[in-house]
Amino acid sequence: MDDAGYDRELECREEIAELSLESVARRRVGEDLESSPVSGDVRGVEHDLGATKEVALEAADGPLDVVQGLVVWNEDPAEYEHRVPIVDAREAVVARFVEEEMVHRPIVGAHKVPAQSDNGGAAWMPPPSARVYAPLEMDIDAPAVAQRIQEFIRRQMVAFRRDGAVVGISGGIDSSVVATLLTRALGPGRVLALVLPERDSSPGSKADALREIERLGLAHREMDLTPVLEALGVYGLLHLDALVARRVKEGAVRWRHRSQTDAAGETPFRSGILGTRGLGKGQRTVDKGLAYARVKPRARMLALYYVAEQENRLVAGTTNRSEAMTGFVAKWGDSAADIEPILPLYKTQVRQLAAYLEVPDEIVRKAPSPDVLPGIVDEMALGIDYETLDRILEGLARGWDAAQVAAQCAAPEAQVRDVEELARRSRHLRELPPWPELGADGLT
136 is a domain residue: no
Residues 98 and 178 in one domain: no
Burial class (CB in 10 A: 0-12, 13-18, 19+), 45: middle
pLDDT at 2: 54
Closest CA to 392 of 360, 347, 338, 362: 347
Average pLDDT over residues 1-28: 44
Cα 12 to Cα 60: distance, rounded to the nearest angstrom: 9
Residues 384 and 251 in one domain: yes
pLDDT at 221: 98
Residues 159 and 304 in one domain: yes
Secondary structure letter of residue 37 according to DSSP:
T
Check pLDDT > 50 for residue 237: yes
The CATH number covering residue 349 comes to 3.40.50.620
Please indicate whether residue 37 or residue 267 has the higher confidence score (pLDDT): 267
pLDDT at 30: 32
Average pLDDT over residues 78-94: 35
Check pLDDT > 80 for residue 88: no
The rounded Cα 237 to chain-centroid distance in angstroms is 32
Check pLDDT > 90 for residue 307: yes
Are residues 372 and 333 in contact, defined by beta-carbon separation less than 8 angstroms?
no
pLDDT at 4: 58
439 is a domain residue: no
In the three-class reduction of DSSP (H, G, I as helix; E, B as strand; rest coil), residue 49 is classed as helix
Closest CA to 371 of 174, 228, 236, 230: 174
Closest CA to 424 of 321, 325, 322: 325
pLDDT at 210: 97
Cα 117 to Cα 277: distance, rounded to the nearest angstrom: 36
Average pLDDT over residues 38-67: 35
Are residues 41 and 25 in contact, defined by beta-carbon separation less than 8 angstroms?
yes
Q: Which of 71, 103, 130 finishes a domain?
A: 130
Confidence of residue 266 (pLDDT cuts 50, 70, 90): confident
Mean pLDDT of the chain: 76
pLDDT at 346: 97
Are residues 271 and 282 in contact, defined by beta-carbon separation less than 8 angstroms?
no
Residues 93 and 177 in one domain: no
Check pLDDT > 70 for residue 46: no
Cα 241 to Cα 166: distance, rounded to the nearest angstrom: 32
pLDDT at 246: 80
Cα 381 to Cα 378: distance, rounded to the nearest angstrom: 5
Check pLDDT > 50 for residue 100: no
Residues 291 and 387 in one domain: yes
Are residues 224 and 199 in contact, defined by beta-carbon separation less than 8 angstroms?
no
Cα 175 to Cα 212: distance, rounded to the nearest angstrom: 10
Are residues 205 and 194 in contact, defined by beta-carbon separation less than 8 angstroms?
no
Check pLDDT > 60 for residue 318: yes
Residues 187 and 59 in one domain: no
Residues 266 and 353 in one domain: yes
pLDDT at 314: 98
pLDDT at 25: 35
pLDDT at 258: 86
pLDDT at 172: 95
Residues 153 and 295 in one domain: yes
For Cα atoms 98, 102, 106, give the angle at the middle one, nearest 5 degrees. 160
Q: Which of 109, 130, 151 finishes a domain?
A: 130
443 is a domain residue: no
Distances (CA, A) of 306 to 46, 195, 218, 314, 438: 69, 14, 19, 11, 35
Please indicate whether residue 73 or residue 148 has the higher confidence score (pLDDT): 148
pLDDT tens sequence across 364-413 = 999 999 999 888 899 988 999 999 999 999 999 999 999 999 999 989 99
Residues 110 and 212 in one domain: no
**Pairing status of strand 34-36 against strand 41-43:** antiparallel
pLDDT at 235: 92
Closest CA to 55 of 96, 91, 89: 96
Q: Which of 130, 165, 190 finishes a domain?
A: 130
Residues 147 and 102 in one domain: no
Residues 351 and 220 in one domain: yes
Q: Residues near 16 by Cβ (< 8 Å), separated by ≥ 6? A: 56, 57, 59, 60, 66, 89, 92, 94
438 is a domain residue: no
pTM: 0.70
How many Cβ atoms are within 10 Å of 297's Cβ, its own excluded?
A: 22
Check pLDDT > 90 for residue 54: no
Number of domains observed in the structure of the chain? 2
Are residues 395 and 405 in contact, defined by beta-carbon separation less than 8 angstroms?
yes
Confidence of residue 333 (pLDDT cuts 50, 70, 90): very high
442 is a domain residue: no
Confidence of residue 150 (pLDDT cuts 50, 70, 90): very high
Average pLDDT over residues 60-67: 37
pLDDT tens sequence across 201-215 = 998 999 999 999 999
135 is a domain residue: no
Residues 30 and 66 in one domain: yes
Cα 315 to Cα 409: distance, rounded to the nearest angstrom: 36
pLDDT at 11: 55
Helix axes 142-160, 347-356, angle to 10 degrees: 100
260 is a domain residue: yes
Q: Residues near 1 by Cβ (< 8 Å), separated by ≥ 6? A: 9
444 is a domain residue: no
Confidence of residue 270 (pLDDT cuts 50, 70, 90): confident
Instruction: Provide the residue range defining the domain that includes 92.
Output: 3-130
